[in-house]
Chain A
C-alpha cells in the first residue's frame, strides 16, 4: 500500500483499514449569515488612533488591511509592519479587510486609487503601516505616563505590555486602550532602527493559517445573506456575441429556480441555491447573435503575428545603432518564441455578491480594485461612490484576474441585481467552465529576436520585436501607462534589458483587431519577456561558446543586484559541477535565468531530466532573491516556491486555444494545472539587504520558464521556442 484512492474517481481504489472517527461537531443553524472579513466578528474600536489600527479592551490588536489577501501573505506582512512599531504581542494581532475608501486606503503608488497589484503592497505601505503602529505606541505611552505621573522616556513597551521599570508599574494595551483614545495624535513619530526589529526579518506565522486550515476562512463563495438568490449565467460561446432570443420554459420548470433574466452578458438563471441555478442554466435554450463576434482561431492569430513581425513596430527602446551593428556583424543569431493565451484559473472561480438597499449598494467580493469597482458600480446604479460599500473578503487566488480593468464580473452581478429590480441580494457564481472561457487571458505573444556578434565573438547588437495585444489600451489605465502607442506592460522586461549591448532596438506591434479580452497574469509582461530574452541569451552563449552564467556576469557589470542574485543562485546550485547522471536513456541538464520585475531581482537555476520519450521532469530549482529588506523571510520563500509552481504549470501544460473564436478549454481536464507529483524541490536564498522592500508576489515567476528551457537546451541540445513544451520535440 502506498497512497490511497478517492472513492468516486473512475480509477477506483479503496482505503484499507479506514479509521473509525468519533465526532461531536454541532451544525450551525441553516440560514446563519455570519459574514467575516479576515476572521472573527468586527473588532471593538476602543482605541483607534488611525485608519489602520484598533485596540480593544480585550487586548486584541486589529490591523485594517487596505490590500486584498489572495494568498500572497499581505495580511500577515502589513500586520508585521504595524505590530513591529506598536510593539504588539503577535499572538494578539488579527487583520480585517478595510472598507473601500480611496481617501484613507489608497495604494500610495497609485495616486488616489485603492487596490492591490503589481507586487506593491509591502513597498507602498512600508512607512505608512510602521507609522500607524508607532502612532499607536506613542499614544499608549503618553497615556501611561499621564496616568502614572512618570516621564514618557522611562516607559518601555514590549509584547503589548507598557511598563515603567523604575516604579515597576505595568499595564496591557487593553487596560490602557480607553486612556490612550483620549490622547492627542502625535504630529510626528520616530521609527525603530532596524537593529531593534523584533518581527520584521523574523518568523511571524501567517495570521490566516488557522482559519484557512479549519474551513472558517470566508471567501465570496461562502457568503449567504437572508433571501439571497444564486445566479448562474449562460454566456455566449464567442467573445462579442449577444443574446438574440432565448427560451426559458425548461429552465423555469426546475424546482428552486425563481427567475430568468436577460443581461448584456447573457442570460441569468436565479435560484434559491447553486445547484438549481446550474440545472436551470443548463436547460436554457439561447440563440446568439454572432454578427460581431470574434471568430478567429489561435493558429490564425499567430500567423498574423508572424507576418507583422516581418516589419518594424513602434520603438520601445533604441540604444546605439542596431542596424549598423547587424550590417557589420560576423554572425547573426536568430530565434522566435511563441507563448499562448493563459487562464488565471484561480481555484475560486469569479463570483460576487451584491445587495441593493434604499441608500446604496453593498458588495461582498475578493476585492482587488476597490476604487475601480466602486466607481464602476456607482456609475452603473446611479449612486455616489461612497454609497457603494465593499466588503473585501479573502480571495481564493487571483493572479491578476480579480484586478479586472473594466470590472467585468462585478458589473455582471450588478446587471443581474438590476434586472430583478434589486428585490433580492444576488450571488453571481461562475462555474469553472464560465471562468475558463470568459477570457481576460494573459495575451498570446510572438517574439522575434536577433543578435549581432562581431569577429571577436562580442555581442554588439540586439533586436527584440514583440507582437501581442495590449492590456492597457482601451482601459482606464491607458492614459497613465501607454506612451506613444507603447503599452508599458507589453514590453516590460524586454525594453529594460539589463545587459550591456551597445546597439539595441526593442519594438512592438500592438494588434487591436483581436476580440479576445486580455489581462495581467501574475508577472504580466515579464511572464513572456523573461522567457524570450533569457532563453535567447543562452542561444547567444552557445553561439559564442561561453558559459551562460559567465556571459551574463560579463554583460551585467553595471547591474550589481542582477549579478548578486545570479552569483548566489549559481553558487548554491553548484553551477559548473557535474550533475548526477539520470537513469538509462535520461538526459539531464542545468539552466539559469535572471530577471528583474517589480523592482525585485530573482535568479533561478533549474535542474531537469528529459526522458527518452521527451517527457520533462524538473527536479530542482535553486532561486536567489533580492527584494530589499526581507519583512517576512518565510513568506518570501513561500511566494517564490509558489511562483515557481505557477510558472512551471505554464511551461508544462498551460494553453488556452481558440477555434473559430470558441475557447477549446473548459476545465482542469483540458487545461491541466501543475500537480504535486510534478513539483520540483525548490530552494530559496534571500540576499541580505537594507534597501526598502519591493515586490515578491510575482517576481518568482519570470525566470522559471527560461531557466527550464535553458536546462532542456543543456540536456538535449534542443532550443525550445514555444510554450507549453511539446514532448514530441524532445524525444531522443
Chain B
C-alpha cells in the first residue's frame, strides 16, 4: 500500500510502486482530468503539481510522490490562481478539442505562481513543454495575460 495525498485528501493505493502517477490517478482513482498523450514527458498533457511544482505524471513513479501533496486539474480551482486561469480560459474560449488543456492550465498556474507578470517570452519558454495539436497557442498566451491582469 502506498500512502498518497491527492488534492488535499489522503488515500491509499495498492499498485506496483513503479506505476506512473498518471495511471494511478486515472485508472485507480478515476481522476480522469489528467490526460495520457505521449507517456514520455514530451507533451505535458499529464501535468500535475507535486508540492507545487509542475510535474509530468506519466513518468514519475507513484512511489516517489508518497507523502507529497499532489494537485490535479480537478482541484485547481480551489486556489485563487487556478480560478483566475480557468476564468481567463473560459472568457477567451481557449479550448478546441480540450484534451491537452488540463495540462496547459496546470502549467499556466505554476507559471503565474512564480511570475505574476509574465511576458510573451516567459510564456513561450514555460509553456513550450505543453503541446496543443489544435494550436490554441495564441489564445493560451492571451489567457495567461488575462489571468495575470485579474490577479494583479
Contacts and interface: CB of A to CB of B under 8 A. Distances in A.
A463 B36 CA distance: 47
B148 interface: no
Contact of A396 (B44, B75, B97): B97
B92 to A, nearest CB: 9
Contacts of B34: 215
B66 interface: no
Contacts of B41: 6, 8-9
Given A2-B115, A19-B81, A213 B101 contact: yes
Interface in B1-19: 6-9, 11, 15-16, 19
Nearest to B51: A18
Interface in B60-110: 60, 69, 71-75, 77-79, 81, 86, 89-90, 93-102, 105, 107, 110
A209 interface: yes
Nearest to B13: A30
Contacts of B37: 347-349, 396, 432
Contact of B33 (A8, A216, A395, A645): A216
A70 B114 CA distance: 33
Contacts of A396: 35, 37, 97-100
A20 to B, nearest CB: 7
A71 B125 contact: no
A644 B96 contact: no
A145 B26 CA distance: 52
A7 B53 contact: yes
A408 to B, nearest CB: 20
A576 B28 CA distance: 60
B20 A215 contact: no
Contacts of A221: 32, 35-36
A669 to B, nearest CB: 6
Contacts, number: 282
Interface string B111-152: 101110011011111111111111111111100000000000
Interface string A202-231: 000110111111111111011010000010
B96 A677 contact: no
B99 A9 contact: no
Given A21-B49, A216-B33, A205 B90 contact: yes
A399 interface: yes
Interface in A59-76: 70-73
Contacts of A349: 36-37
B70 to A, nearest CB: 10
A230 B27 CA distance: 10
A682 interface: yes
A219 B35 CA distance: 10
Interface string A1-23: 11111111100001111111111
Interface string A622-636: 000000000000110
A255 B60 CA distance: 20
A205 to B, nearest CB: 6
Contacts of B138: 641, 679, 681-682
Given A21-B79, A212-B101, A347-B133, A28 B39 contact: no
A32 interface: yes
Interface in A1-54: 1-9, 14-28, 30-32
B125 A23 contact: no
Interface string A664-691: 0001110001111101011000000000
A586 interface: no
B27 A3 contact: no
Given A3-B122, A347-B100, A24 B114 contact: no
A673 B131 contact: yes
A309 B34 CA distance: 49
Contacts of A275: 15-16, 19-20, 23, 27
Nearest to B37: A347
B26 A9 contact: no
A478 interface: no
A15 B9 contact: no
B135 A18 contact: no
Residue of B71, B97, B140 most packed against chain A (CB within 10 A) = B97
A97 to B, nearest CB: 14
A431 interface: yes
Contact of A30 (B28, B74, B96, B141): B28
Nearest to A72: B96
A628 B48 CA distance: 42
Nearest to B19: A275
A216 B123 CA distance: 25
Contacts of B132: 347, 645, 676
Contacts of A669: 40, 42
Given A72-B96, A215-B72, A679-B138, A8 B59 contact: yes
A518 interface: no
A348 B9 CA distance: 29
Nearest to B53: A7
A699 interface: no
A8 B55 CA distance: 6
B115 A397 contact: no
Contacts of A315: none
A9 B30 contact: no
Nearest to A348: B99
Given A4-B54, A22-B8, A215-B73, A634 B42 contact: no
B115 A30 contact: no
A18 B114 contact: yes
Contacts of B133: 345-347, 397, 399, 646, 673
Given A6-B41, A27-B9, A27-B29, A215 B96 contact: no
A398 B96 CA distance: 11
Contacts of A676: 123-124, 127-128, 130, 132, 137, 140-141
Given A6-B47, A30-B30, A273-B28, A645 B137 contact: yes
B40 A395 contact: no
Contacts of A14: 53
Contacts of B19: 275
A559 B16 CA distance: 65
Interface in A263-279: 273-276
A673 B133 CA distance: 7
A679 to B, nearest CB: 4
26 contacts: A1-B115, A2-B118, A2-B125, A7-B50, A22-B8, A22-B79, A27-B11, A70-B97, A71-B95, A71-B96, A72-B96, A209-B94, A209-B95, A215-B31, A215-B102, A221-B35, A275-B23, A346-B133, A347-B37, A347-B131, A397-B134, A638-B136, A641-B135, A674-B137, A676-B124, A677-B124
Given A224-B30, A644-B135, A677-B128, 4 more contacts: A4-B111, A9-B129, A205-B93, A676-B137
Interface of B: 6-9, 11, 15-16, 19-20, 23, 26-45, 47, 49-56, 59-60, 69, 71-75, 77-79, 81, 86, 89-90, 93-102, 105, 107, 110-111, 113-115, 118-119, 121-141
5 shortest interchain CB distances as A-B pairs? A215-B33, A645-B135, A396-B99, A212-B98, A71-B97
